[in-house]
């Protein structure tokens, strides 16, 4: 990491960041000036965030003094080295003929903020689940422990300053208030007024503890307060102004959470800093303990999990380690009894791609408690009613035998021990699961059964997605091997993540794949692909168009699969299920439209496509006609393909998977041309398509097109006439939207 300031060179009016950085767009404007999204031209156009630190100064000596003060005050910021904190790259000096400016250059984190995610949930009438809130707590406490250990207080934790990183879904802590504090100190020492209002308070109202709001003082408990306020807002879907009674210093909304989590957040939100947990370690210890949380002055606690100063072990392995484990033989998909990863208690670990070592594991082989994804909860509850009676009979029998053989005086009456209230509130059965966790597993089971998914099939899918997101677990077990998930308290963060992966997958399946197609999971084969080809061919559509629609939907739902060979993996069955749905939609006409030029030579269509959806237009044309196409849609939101009626190995399409929106050219074959439009953006789009033909013999110049991109399934399945790709991996990479 750079430790000194660098000059960005001369700046002109069109380039406020000098000649090394190109402004992509302005991200915001605050009390310290402007913030830009920029590209570093000297590092292959790597994107970064550039924040104004010191505004335009005419005195070059003051610029040098500001750099000196920053280096002295912000040395700790350059030491930050955590995967959930953006890296500070440099202090950028930009000079003009008569002045200079200073900017902070930081790593750019791509993804939505949790404020944006919360708004999306609220728009849909929802909020964050408790398991998501708990997972966030586990994910962020080690980050706070790390920055506090090197003397940095964030000071401004809120949903706006947490980003869900698009690559791996981990929360990233951004926009350190301590940077603003340093900037204010530098300005004060240099007597710089700045370009905006003077910054008198660091942090957002509602998330800042009272002492920081009134005096500006902050310590580690201030960050814990902001984190708890953030989590309570996410869990309730309500602004802090609604949840916080500022007059009495109390918060509401804990009743939407389990007693344990509610008590932990309530203690983090105490008005008096001495009554809060005093460190992130203490909060982690409370999360891992069955002891009741007392909202009183905090006391030191013992060992914690995960380790302080680093992300949890499952997050640290490189992607290459995961990829090494993901290549395997073709899988069998029988729904035999298996042990789900969320319930394994031994040291044997599942491999998401190896059926022989994973999905044939029986309960006897594992020698652990029975799998509990929800199926056995009711039975265990019934058995629990018999436990007191069995205990009483066993105790009585023991006493009688003792008296008979020893001829001693009768034993004293046995008094049942009063249960520990804290334990009785958090433990549901012998597994040690909390009530909230048991209910979560029950929800997973119920929703899975509604979709008609076999348990084994579902577990395979979740395991693959889980390992893809947390590849570090493949190497965090004994001797660098795979670590088993147990029911022990220290494995609760891992179980939460597995359950969250399962719940998110269920939501994806419920919203995007029909129940009819889902019921075919684990059984799709080459026979189904042949059936789809026959079905779409019967309505004059080729399999190229079918797989264009399937590719768009699948890669929209699972973008990390692009460029990988996954068809023989569990997730490949989801691609087949999507293909089944798309084939049916083409056959019944819901994703297909005939363009008839019999009455008019110009046809216009106004349509709407959801993210990942597509539509096939059939144009019956005659050789010699001139075809003109125009697609009006949001920028970089669509891919367009035009397939020939009689494709050959050298000439399968006019163009395919092209980002162009206009085309004109002479038709040299007679028959049905397939025009395919797919939405590759993250939002629904409205588009207008115009197609017109002229019976002329001279065509205008043909617009350049990109080389055709084959489907995920390769070309060998497309009507039996197209070329064959070298590998499925190459085909997948080619077909991914850009």
Which residues are catalytically annotated?
156
DSSP for 66-128, please give it: HHHHHHHHSHHHHH---TTSPPEEEEEEEE-SS-EEEEEEEE---S-BHHHHHHHHHHTT---
Q: Distance between CA atoms of 44 and 493, rounded to whole angstroms? A: 38
How far the first Cα of the chain sits from its last, in Å, is 31
What's the half-sphere exposure (Cβ side, CA atoms, 13 Å) at 269?
28
Q: Strand 592-595 vs strand 614-621: parallel, antiparallel, or unpaired?
A: parallel
Q: How many CB atoms lie within 10 A of CB 420?
A: 13
Pull the structure tokens for residue 247. Answer: 């007059």
Tokens 């350059």 belong to residue: 78
Burial 242-270 (b: 16+ CB within 10 A, else e): ebbeeeeeebebbebbbbbbbbbbbbbbb
Phi, psi of 499 (to 5 degrees): -65, -40
* Cβ burial, residue 695 (10 Å; 0-12/13-18/19+): exposed
Cβ proximity of 579 and 546 under 8 Å: yes
Q: Nearest CA to 561 among 613, 635, 612? A: 612
Q: Nearest CA to 133 among 342, 287, 270? A: 287
Q: Strand 592-595 vs strand 653-658: parallel, antiparallel, or unpaired?
A: unpaired
**Cis omega (within 30 of 0) for bond into 182:** no
What strand order describes the sheet that includes 33-40?
5-10, 88-95, 100-107, 46-57, 33-40, 21-30
Report CA 736 to chain centroid distance, whole Å: 19
Using the Cα atoms of residue 42, residue 46, residue 51 and residue 56 in order, give the sign of their dihedral. positive
The alpha helices in 619-692, defined as continuous H runs, are none
Q: Distance between CA atoms of 399 and 165, rounded to whole angstroms? A: 63
Q: Nearest CA to 718 among 647, 655, 651, 669? A: 647
Strand partners, 692: 602, 628
Q: Distance between CA atoms of 76 and 264, rounded to whole angstroms? A: 30
The alpha helices in 258-313, defined as continuous H runs, are 259-268, 280-287
Q: Distance between CA atoms of 571 and 566, rounded to whole angstroms? A: 7
Q: Distance between CA atoms of 571 and 465, rounded to whole angstroms? A: 8
Q: Distance between CA atoms of 180 and 702, rounded to whole angstroms? A: 55
Calculate the alpha carbon distances from 152 to 79, 83, 149, 189 in Å.
10, 16, 8, 21
Using the Cα atoms of residue 288, residue 290, residue 293 and residue 297 in order, give the sign of their dihedral. negative
Tokens 């900017």 belong to residue: 103
Cβ proximity of 295 and 275 under 8 Å: yes
Using the Cα atoms of residue 410, residue 411, residue 413 and residue 414 in order, give the sign of their dihedral. negative
């Amino acid at each position: 990491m750079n430790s000194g300031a660098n000059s960005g060179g001369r700046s002109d009016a069109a380039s406020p960041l000098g000649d090394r950085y190109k402004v992509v767009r302005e991200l915001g404007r605050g009390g310290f000036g402007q913030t830009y999204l920029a590209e570093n031209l000297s590092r292959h156009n790597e994107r970064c965030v550039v924040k104004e630190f010191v505004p335009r100064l005419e005195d070059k000596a003051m610029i040098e003094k500001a750099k000196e003060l920053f280096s002295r005050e912000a040395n700790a910021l350059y030491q930050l080295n955590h995967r959930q904190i953006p890296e500070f790259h440099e202090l950028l000096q930009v000079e003009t003929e008569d002045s200079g400016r200073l900017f902070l250059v930081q790593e750019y984190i791509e993804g939505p903020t949790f404020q944006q995610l919360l708004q999306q949930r609220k728009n849909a009438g929802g909020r964050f689940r408790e398991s998501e809130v708990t997972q966030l707590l586990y994910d962020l406490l080690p980050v706070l422990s790390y920055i506090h250990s090197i003397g940095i207080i964030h000071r401004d934790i809120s949903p706006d300053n947490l980003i869900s990183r698009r690559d791996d879904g981990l929360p990233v802590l951004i926009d350190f208030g301590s940077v603003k504090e340093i900037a204010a100190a530098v300005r004060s020492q240099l007597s710089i007024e700045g370009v905006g209002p003077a910054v008198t308070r660091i942090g957002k109202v509602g998330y800042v503890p009272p002492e920081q709001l009134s005096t500006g003082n902050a310590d580690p408990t201030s960050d814990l307060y902001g984190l708890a306020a953030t989590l309570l807002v996410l869990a309730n879907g309500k602004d802090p102004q609604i949840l916080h009674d500022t007059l009495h210093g109390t918060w509401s909304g804990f009743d939407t959470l389990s007693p344990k989590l509610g008590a932990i957040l309530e203690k983090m939100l105490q008005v008096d800093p001495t009554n809060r947990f005093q460190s992130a370690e203490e909060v982690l210890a409370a999360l891992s303990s069955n002891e009741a949380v007392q909202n009183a002055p905090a006391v030191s606690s013992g060992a914690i999990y995960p380790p302080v100063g680093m992300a949890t072990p499952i997050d640290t392995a490189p992607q290459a380690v995961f990829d090494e484990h993901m290549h395997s033989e073709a899988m069998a998909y029988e729904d035999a009894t298996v042990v789900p990863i969320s319930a394994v208690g031994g040291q044997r670990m599942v491999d998401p791609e190896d059926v022989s070592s994973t999905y044939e594991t029986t309960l006897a082989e594992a020698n652990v408690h029975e799998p509990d994804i929800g199926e056995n909860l009711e039975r265990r509850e019934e058995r629990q009613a018999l436990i007191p009676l069995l205990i009483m009979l066993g105790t009585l029998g023991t006493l009688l035998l003792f008296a008979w053989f020893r001829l001693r005086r009768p034993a004293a009456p046995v008094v049942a021990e009063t249960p520990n209230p804290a334990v009785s509130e958090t433990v549901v059965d012998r597994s040690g699961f909390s009530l909230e966790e048991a209910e979560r597993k029950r929800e997973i089971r119920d929703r899975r059964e509604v979709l008609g998914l076999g348990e084994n099939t579902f577990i395979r899918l979740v395991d693959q997605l889980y390992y893809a997101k947390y590849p570090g677990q493949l190497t965090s077990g004994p001797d660098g091997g795979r670590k088993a998930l147990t029911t022990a308290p220290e494995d609760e963060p891992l179980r939460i993540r597995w359950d969250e992966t399962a719940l998110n997958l269920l939501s994806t399946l419920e919203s995007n794949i029909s129940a009819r197609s889902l019921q075919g999971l684990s059984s799709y084969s080459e026979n189904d692909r042949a059936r789809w080809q026959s079905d779409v061919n019967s309505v004059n559509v080729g399999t190229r168009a079918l797989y264009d629609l399937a590719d768009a939907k699948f890669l929209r739902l699972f973008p990390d699969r692009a460029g990988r060979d996954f068809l023989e993996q569990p997730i490949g069955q989801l691609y087949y299920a999507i293909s089944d749905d798309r084939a049916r939609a083409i056959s019944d006409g819901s994703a297909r439209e005939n363009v008839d030029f019999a009455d008019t030579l110009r046809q216009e269509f106004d349509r709407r496509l959801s993210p990942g959806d597509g539509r096939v237009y059939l144009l019956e044309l005659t050789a010699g006609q001139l075809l003109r196409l125009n697609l009006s849609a949001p920028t970089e939101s669509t891919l367009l393909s035009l397939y020939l009626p009689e494709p050959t190995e050298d000439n399968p399409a006019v163009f395919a998977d092209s980002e162009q929106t206009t085309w004109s050219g002479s038709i040299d074959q007679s028959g049905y041309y397939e025009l395919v439009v797919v939405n590759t953006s993250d939002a629904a789009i409205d588009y207008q398509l115009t197609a017109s033909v002229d019976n002329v013999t001279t065509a205008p110049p043909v617009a350049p097109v990109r080389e055709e991109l084959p489907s995920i399934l390769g070309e060998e399945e497309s009507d039996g006439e197209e070329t064959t790709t070298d590998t499925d991996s190459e085909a997948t990479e080619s077909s991914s939207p850009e």
